[in-house]
Amino acid sequence: MTKLTDQQRTQWAIDGYLHLKGVLSPGEVALFSEEIDRIRQVPGWEPSPDGPLGHYAWLDHAADLDPEAFMDRRDLLPYHQAFIDLMDRPNVFDLIKDIMGPYLLLSMTQAIVRASTEKFKGYTHTDGGEALRRIRVTETSRPLAMKALYLLTDTPEPDSGNFTIFPGSHMRPFPEKADPPLGPKTPGAVQLMGSAGDCILFPHSLWHGPGPNLSGHGRKTLLYNYCQLFVRSYDFETVPTVLDRCTPRQRRLVGDLGHDFRPGSYFYAPQDQIEVVENPSARTP
């Protein structure tokens, strides 16, 4: 099993992110990119036109069917086996497991396309909403929640929809109420240059967000979130409907504990948790 190198462990603790190069093959990048174009046309969870901030609604298709336009789709697992298998792809999941420990769940999946436009200036936030933003664990603690962001588009220069971070901001108070708000152009923000197939790991408490995209084409990403077992998933209210397409490890990651829910579930892990999570077993036919 691959583990973080000493250098990666230090960078994770100090800067609050890891940039893994070329973890997806060009073929996988093409497949996911085509899938995003396809699922834009079909029903799914899309930003709610009239719901509360950050909530999604089940809509017939994305608001704009142009593949280069903005899109934000949640709960990707049902759309293709590749979305299921990405949740525990060994070359990334081994590192996530090393960071989070074995008592973890997949909490969210998302595909975002950032259109090329002068209008969108980017923004900066933490994940996990109002509560988690004020919880900063120590350098040696496991995170409560973290994210794997897969780039499906090259972002070789600034302002191409780059993932933008404030390094180290997971460890210190952040002027979240500043006026004007801090954003991708504020001194201290770093626009990461990357290539399609790269993956960036970071905890939810790191201040981050998309930068502007003036590249002339849409920028696609996939986002896979993980949380400690007791935190619970926030993409599904109950265990999702893809269980018959999952390996035992994937079933556990989406919240199937092997028995019906009862008080105590997700509080203490099932007795075979470590064995199941350490084992990338085959799918039963």
Ligand X SMILES: O=C(O)CCC(=O)C(=O)O
CA-based nearest residue to 145, from 233, 77, 72: 233
Q: Edge-to-edge strands of the sheet including 219-228? A: 18-20, 199-203, 145-151, 219-228, 104-114, 71-74, 44-47, 56-59
Residues contacting ligand X: total by CB under 6 A? 11
Binding of ligand X by 252 (CB under 6 A): no
Q: Min. distance of Cβ 71 from ligand X in angstroms?
A: 10
Q: How many CB atoms lie within 10 A of CB 152?
A: 25
Least separation in angstroms between residue 116's CB and ligand X is 13
CB nearer to ligand X: pick between 149 and 253: 149
Which DSSP helix (H) or strand (E) runs through 223? strand 219-228
Closest to ligand X by CB, 221 vs 228, is: 221
Which CB, 155 or 247, lies closer to ligand X?
Answer: 155
**Minimum CB–partner distance for residue 283 and ligand X (Å):** 28
Q: How many CB atoms lie within 10 A of CB 25?
A: 10
- Which residue has tokens 């790269």? 198
Per-residue mark of binding to ligand X, 153-192 (x: CB under 6 A): ----------x-----------------------------
Q: Which of 40, 58, 20, 82 is nearest to 220 (CA)?
A: 40
Find the binding residues for ligand X in span 100-119 (CB under 6 A): 112, 114
Cα-only R_g, the chain: 18
Residue found under tokens 């973080």? 4
User: Whole-angstrom Cα distance, residue 94 to residue 91?
Assistant: 6
For residues 204 to 243, the per-residue mask of contacts with ligand X, x marking binding by CB under 6 A and - elsewhere, is ----xxx----------x-x--------------------
Candidates 18-26, 97-105, 202-210, 250-258 — which segment interacts with ligand X by CB under 6 A?
202-210
Helices (H), 170-272: 248-253
State in angstroms the smallest separation of the CB of 2 from ligand X.
23
d(CA 261, CA 254): 14
Cis status, amide bond into 180, omega within 30 of 0: yes
Please report whether residue 19 would count as binding ligand X according to CB under 6 A: no
Least Cβ distance, residue 149 to ligand X (angstroms): 5
Work out which of 24, 149, 196, 229 binds ligand X, going by CB under 6 A: 149
Interface residues with ligand X (CB under 6 A) are: 112, 114, 127, 147, 149, 163, 208-210, 221, 223
